[in-house]
Every structure is written in C-alpha cells, then in structure tokens.
C-alpha cells in the first residue's frame, strides 16, 4: 500500500520580513503592527522547525505570503480610510487571486523537497533574513512548548 502524503500550509505575510524576533516581545502587547508582523514571523519560523522535525515522514510544511489582499481590515478607518480603500480597490488582489499561493502549496506536484520553505506568487522565495537564524527558530519552538505545556 502506498503511503499517503500530507501537507501543512501556514499563511504568513511579507510583514514578517520587517521585524526582528525578540522572544521577550512575545510575552507582552507591543502595538498592532509589531504584534502582527511578529505573529507572521512566528508562522514562518514554526514552519521551518516543523519541517525539520518531520523530515523522513510523509508530511511536509510550507509557509507563504498570499500577496496584499482586499479585506475588511480598513473598513472603519474614517476619512483616511477613504484614501486607503481607494488604493486597495486599485492595487490589491481579490480573494481568488490571494488564494492562489495557498492552493499551489497545497496541491502542486514535486514540492516535497522544499519542505520548510517560503512561497510568494506560487514560487519559492529566498528565506527572509528575519527567519534565517536557526538557533532562534529552535528557541522559539522551545518557548512555544513551555507556553502550551507540551513536549
């Protein structure tokens, strides 16, 4: 019987490229944008470490930036929001376009050798500098285990 293959796909953001991991910042509220970027960096770092831990199994992992997608995040931003919403309508991806990289990482053939890598626009991209410190990746995993009380 052929062993089935499974994939774990984590949605992150380009914002992860613009923050440095500080494990102490994870234990407190900073500001919305810092915390958002940190959470997306955690998604990427989690994916990297999980791929390492799953090496040799039939499960692979991928993280991705879906692009800048039209959402309701700017719905209640007042007068400034009118300008922002106009830019969003013109330049941002719609939901179907924004879903393409998630779909690609979920079903594309021959991605197994890229487990733990990051994707944008349906292609693998160079790992963000913010996610390149493998010791910090492991420390984040260990800290996460402590927080959720599992090993």
> Residue 99's pLDDT band (boundaries 50, 70, 90)?
very high
Which residue, among 67, 69, 68, has the nearest Cα to 120 in the 3D structure?
A: 67
Q: Give me the residue label for tokens 């991991």.
A: 21
Q: State yes or no: is 36 an active-site residue.
A: yes
The CA angle 86-92-97, to the nearest 5 degrees, is 145
- Please report which helix (H) or strand (E) contains residue 43, including its range: helix 32-54
Which of 36, 62, 104, 128 is catalytic? The answer is: 36
The ranges assigned to domains in the chain are 6-67+102-142
CA distance 89 to 94: 9
Q: Whole-angstrom Cα distance, residue 115 to residue 17?
A: 19
Strands 123-125 and 59-65: unpaired
* Fold exhibited by the domain 6-67+102-142: Rossmann fold (3.40.50)
Angle, alpha carbons 52-54-58 (nearest 5°)? 135
> pLDDT (tens digit, 9 = 90+) per residue, 33-49?
899 999 999 999 999 99
What's the whole-number average pLDDT of the chain? 88
Rounded to an integer, the average pLDDT of 122-149 is 95
């Amino acid at each position: 019987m052929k062993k089935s293959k499974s994939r774990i796909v984590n949605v992150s953001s380009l914002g992860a490229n613009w923050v440095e991991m500080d494990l102490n910042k994870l234990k407190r509220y900073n500001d919305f944008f810092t915390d958002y970027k940190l959470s997306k960096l955690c998604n990427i770092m989690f994916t990297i470490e999980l791929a390492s831990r799953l090496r040799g199994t039939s499960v692979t992992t991928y993280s991705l930036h879906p692009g800048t997608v039209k959402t309701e995040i700017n719905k209640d931003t007042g007068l400034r929001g009118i300008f922002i919403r106009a830019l969003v309508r013109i330049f941002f991806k719609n939901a179907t376009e924004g879903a393409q990289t998630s779909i690609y990482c979920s079903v594309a053939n021959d991605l197994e050798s890229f487990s733990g890598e990051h994707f944008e626009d349906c292609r693998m991209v160079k790992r963000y500098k913010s996610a390149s410190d493998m010791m910090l990746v492991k420390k984040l995993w260990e800290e996460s285990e402590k927080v959720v009380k599992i090993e």
